[in-house]
Structure 1
Amino acid sequence: MTRFDASDPTGRQKLFADAVTAHRERGSAFLTVEAELTDAEQARADDLADEAADEADPSDAGDDTTPPQVPWVQFAEQTVNLDCTDAELDRLKNLLAAFPEFRIDQLETPEEAEGTNVRITARADANRLAGFVERVFLTVYERPDDYRAWVVQL
């Protein structure tokens, strides 16, 4: 595999399918794909970083001091793994209706976390997995059509 990012739908679909194929051929532990923050999320992250640098006591900052998290999807063997907020989990459950060969196996919500870790059994070929990952980023994580995705672990 020679290319590790893409920002158009066709390119991302090929990137994801190639990454799944490479992961399987190499027998690597897992594959991780991340999507860049949206412009609004990046601006919020920058503002929070600036505020943190200016604050003597970070506890004096407003209630919303958690920086936006980079959306990610992992794949290992036949399992897709991702973290979701409650709203994202609802969107994921709706999305799974279009992918009957994918099913939620485990939901874990640690007390110290603000979301839920979801493990999905996915018995599918590389192209079907690629289509699912694309839809997760577009539908669950609400990325814009021109979002950039990166294969960060293979």
Structure 2
Amino acid sequence: MSQAHTKRDRLALITETIAAHRKHDRDRVVFETDTARLEYADRTIAIDVSDGARERLDAVLASFPVFKIEQPATRTAPTGTVHIAAIADPKHTADFIERIFRDVYQHGPGYELRV
């Protein structure tokens, strides 16, 4: 398991992990903290959200127009798992994932990310 504590290190870890995932065609990758997790697989990000987190996710999605919710049913679901199409390069995807942990899950700047 790899981990990172600074934004720079987290972005590098996410970017490298996604690039390796794509190169080796792995099943899925789990990015997690003590209180939150998301899965990346086949250019899709799956995250679990509550009502408040869903509203924060919508705000992050507005800042990253290349990332779109994949399933129409999840657009109106107040809670549950949301699947987001991540058809972007690993660096851009890393920026998006960092924002999910910071803005959606409301982690502070020094949070520990594990892969």
Instruction: Look up the match of 1:49.
Output: none
Q: What residue ranges of structure 2 are gaps of 5+ in the alignment?
A: none
- Contact 1:108/1:117 (<8 A) preserved: no
- Contact 2:49/2:79 (<8 A) preserved: yes
Pair 1:25–1:149, CA change in 2 (3 A): same
Would you identify which runs of 4 or more consecutive aligned residues in structure 1 move more than 3 Å?
none
- Contact 1:109/1:116 (<8 A) preserved: no
1:37-76 mapped onto 2 (5 Å cutoff): 70-76=35-41
1:125 aligns with 2:95: no
Instruction: Look up the match of 1:93.
Output: 58
- Contact 2:102/2:109 (<8 A) preserved: yes
User: Structure 1 length as normaliser, TM-score?
Assistant: 0.69
User: Structure 2 length as normaliser, TM-score?
Assistant: 0.91
Aligned length: 113
CA radius of gyration, larger in: 1
Instruction: Look up the match of 1:82.
Output: 47
Residue 26 of structure 1 and its aligned partner are, at CA, apart by: 1.4
- Contact 1:6/1:149 (<8 A) preserved: yes
Pair 1:86–1:120, CA change in 2 (3 A): same
Of all paired residues, the percent bearing the same amino acid is: 31
Residue 109 of structure 1 and its aligned partner are, at CA, apart by: 9.3
Residue 108 of structure 1 and its aligned partner are, at CA, apart by: 8.5
Cα distance in 1 for residues equivalent to 2:26 and 2:43: 13
Cα distance in 2 for residues equivalent to 1:10 and 1:103: 25
C-alpha RMSD of the superposition:
1.9
Q: What residue ranges of structure 1 are gaps of 5+ in the alignment?
A: 37-69
Cα distance in 1 for residues equivalent to 2:75 and 2:113: 25
Cα distance in 2 for residues equivalent to 1:28 and 1:108: 28
Instruction: Look up the match of 2:101.
Output: 137
- Contact 1:7/1:148 (<8 A) preserved: yes
